[in-house]
């Protein structure tokens, strides 16, 4: 059963323990509030946290940015069902001290009752991550060496995948074993919309910046399975929402840390899941930006 960073408050812990018992039979992680109405999720990417809380890169203090996002998530009037972080957790080479710092920075959200699901990117180190944050390690029987999980909610299932090849090797790759697991898992959970979370962006339309190498093989899995509705990713340090030719939504999450191109937003996205689609709201760290609060409604393909 996948393990994740669970909420820490006693009330939520007891509630989560009951949910975990049910999941042990069904498989996957259950989000608090599954089975209720509208669900709100905080979607983050590219936090790039270093052991040194004073480190600045690209004129940005990454620790300060993550603290600001955590405060916004906690202050939201409605408790979010969970937090998803789509990789590049560590600043550069995924040192154990980086992950120790990450654990401390994520603690306020966990204490507020929010479970946190973590994917890995090319700046992460899988073994250091697992040894430093053992509760965050996934243990899918078919993927013992990958940080992959199914997170089940009332309105959708999140499939969190691992595209890390080797630390500091910039492109991403899922690999045959993980793709086969994904195809089997999608078929076994076809009764609910499926949302894919991968650190690397798809290689489409002349994409640059070292995308996912096995994009064609992945799309062969996703396109014909109409219950797959969206692919969420980071890596490019950009914000953007596009619709692929099959009707699949491609959502490029903004970085919490620094941007690669001046003028791009940094921040996070609030996703509200509904039966027929999702509402995305861009939450910029700079609230004076014109695109702060931008709303994009995703209607699921049929």
Domain boundaries, the chain: 10-299
Q: Residue 38 has what pLDDT? A: 79
What pLDDT digit, counting tens, does each position of 97-127 carry? 999 999 999 999 999 999 999 999 999 999 9
Give me the mean pLDDT over the 159-173 stretch: 97
- Are 83 and 40 a contacting pair, CB within 8 Å? no
pTM to 2 decimals? 0.91
Higher pLDDT, residue 49 or 32: 49
Q: Residue 258 has what pLDDT? A: 97
Pick the CATH number of 10-299 from 3.90.1140.10, 2.130.10.10, 2.70.98.70, 3.60.21.10: 3.60.21.10
Start-to-end C-alpha separation, the chain: 31
Give me the mean pLDDT over the 130-142 stretch: 87
- Are 189 and 150 a contacting pair, CB within 8 Å? yes
- Compute, in degrees rounded to 10, the torsion defined by CA atoms 90, 93, 99, 100: -120
| 136 closest CA partner among 186, 178, 172, 100 | 100
- The strand pair at 116-119 and 194-197 is best described as unpaired
Mean of all residue pLDDT scores within the chain: 90
What pLDDT digit, counting tens, does each position of 254-263 carry? 999 999 999 9
Q: Residue 36 has what pLDDT? A: 52
């Amino acid at each position: 059963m996948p393990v994740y960073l669970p909420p820490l408050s006693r009330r939520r812990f007891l509630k989560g323990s009951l949910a975990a018992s049910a999941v042990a039979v069904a498989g996957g992680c259950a989000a608090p509030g599954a089975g209720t109405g509208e669900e709100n999720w905080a979607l983050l990417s590219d936090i790039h946290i270093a052991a040194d809380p004073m480190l600045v890169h690209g004129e940005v203090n990454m620790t300060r940015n993550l603290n600001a996002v955590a405060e916004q998530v906690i202050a939201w009037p409605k408790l979010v069902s969970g937090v998803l972080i789509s990789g590049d957790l560590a600043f550069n080479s995924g040192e154990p001290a980086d992950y120790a710092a990450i654990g401390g920075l994520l603690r306020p959200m966990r204490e507020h009752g929010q479970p946190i699901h973590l994917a890995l990117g090319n700046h992460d180190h899988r073994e250091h991550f697992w040894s430093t944050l053992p509760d965050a390690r996934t243990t899918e029987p078919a993927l013992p060496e990958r940080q992959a999980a199914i997170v089940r909610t009332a309105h959708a299932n999140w499939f969190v995948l691992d595209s890390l090849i080797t630390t500091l090797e910039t492109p991403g790759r899922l690999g045959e074993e993980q793709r086969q697991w994904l195809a089997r898992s999608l078929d076994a959970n076809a009764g609910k919309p499926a949302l894919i979370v991968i650190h690397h962006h798809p290689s489409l339309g002349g994409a640059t910046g070292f995308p996912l190498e096995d994009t064609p093989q992945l799309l062969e899995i996703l396109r014909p399975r109409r219950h797959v509705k969206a692919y969420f990713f980071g890596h490019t340090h950009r914000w953007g929402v596009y619709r692929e030719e099959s009707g699949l939504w491609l959502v490029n999450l903004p970085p919490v840390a620094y941007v690669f191109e001046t003028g791009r937003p940094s921040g996070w996205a609030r996703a509200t899941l509904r039966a027929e689609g999702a509402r995305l709201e861009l939450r910029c760290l700079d609230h004076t930006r014109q695109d702060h609060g931008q709303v994009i409604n995703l209607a699921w393909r049929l």
